[in-house]
Amino acid sequence: MEKLLCPKCNGKTVKNGFQKGKQRYKCKSCDKRFQSNYTYQAYKQETNTLISSLLKECCGIRSISRVLSISKNTVLSRMLKISKQIKVPYFNKFGCKFEVDEMFVRIKNKEAKNYLTYAIEQTEKVVVGFEVGNRNTETIKKVIDKVLLLNPKRIYTDRLPLYPNLIPKEIHKRFQYCTNKIERMNLNLRTHIKRLSRKTICFSRNKIYLEAHLRIYFWG
């Protein structure tokens, strides 16, 4: 009989007792303990991949919980874990054109004004950075600074008064239809992420969950 390999490091394993009548194994290399078969769906190796896919397809936390037959708290904790493992793609093209925009998002309190501010490269539509917070200079500056590091040829924005103070005049452009691509991205976000949909009871209870969801959507 072929021995099981460790799901974490592919190392050799040995038997390590029983848990509720099921054989447990221990990895000789990384000391990970696991079972060959799990009753609870959350312990299966493909669960994280399914959670990521469903989060991108307009499924809410409770919807994923029902589909995968796991706890909603487990879905939330896995979402945070998955997002922390995602590395921001290294964008090394200089002299490109970028679009920056902000969109309203609801987080817990109905009265609070929260916005998602983000920037995309105009040709490939790659998200180079985002921030969630108030629509003020501090929040928007964090996104603009990331764009300026790429030595952009042009930065297109809407007519929000804060932008001229943050972007050099020679590369800043504001005119009708100049942010068409990012406006379309806004529509995609509201369609694909349930917590961003308008006229719905879905919303983020905490900023960290929204940021984790966005990391998975943009870069996962």
CB 117 within 8 A of CB 102: yes
90: left (phi over 0), alpha (psi -120 to 50) or beta: beta
Q: Compute the distance between CA of residue 144 and CA of residue 7 in angstroms, rounded to an integer.
A: 41
- The reported pLDDT for the residue numbered 57 is 92
Q: What sign does the CA torsion over 92, 94, 97, 101 have?
A: positive
The ranges of the chain with pLDDT < 50 are: none
- The reported pLDDT for the residue numbered 155 is 97
- The reported pLDDT for the residue numbered 110 is 58
Q: What length is written for the chain?
A: 220
Q: What CATH code would you report for 97-219?
A: 3.30.420.10
What 3-state DSSP class applies to 202?
Answer: coil
- The reported pLDDT for the residue numbered 92 is 86
Structure tokens at 58: 């307009």
Average confidence score pLDDT of the chain = 90
Q: What is the pTM of this model?
A: 0.83
Tell me the pLDDT tens digit for each residue of 174-193: 988 899 999 999 999 999 99
Indicate the domain borders of the chain: 1-37, 45-85, 97-219
- The reported pLDDT for the residue numbered 11 is 87
- The reported pLDDT for the residue numbered 104 is 93
Name which of 49, 48, 51, 19 is nearest 36 in CA terms: 19
